[in-house]
């Protein structure tokens, strides 16, 4: 019984290339949202210009 437990060995190795996680989508949405809010505030404050 003891030999059966030692027969299934699993090896874990690190990948050759680094793992890349891209977060561009979230950052871009936040910047666009902030610009839209700034534009809305500017229009509200300067109604006579627009």
Mean pLDDT for back-to-back runs of 10 residues, the chain (50 residues): 60 88 68 81 83
Is residue 14 domain-resident? no
The answer to whether residue 10 is domain-embedded is: no
Spell out the alpha helix ranges (H) of the chain: 2-7, 24-45
Res 6: pLDDT: 55
Looking at residue 17, its pLDDT comes to: 92
Tokens 């290339």, residue located: 17
Tokens encoding 27:
């950052």
Indicate the DSSP class of residue 16.
Answer: S
Range of the domain at 32: 20-45
Question: What is the predicted pLDDT for the residue at 5?
Answer: 53
pTM above 0.85, yes or no: no
12 located within any domain = no
């Amino acid at each position: 019984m003891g030999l059966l437990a030692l027969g299934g060995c699993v090896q874990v190795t690190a990948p050759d290339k680094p793992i890349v996680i891209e977060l561009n989508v979230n950052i871009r949405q936040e910047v666009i949202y902030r610009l839209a809010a700034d534009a809305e505030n500017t229009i509200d404050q300067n109604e006579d210009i627009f």
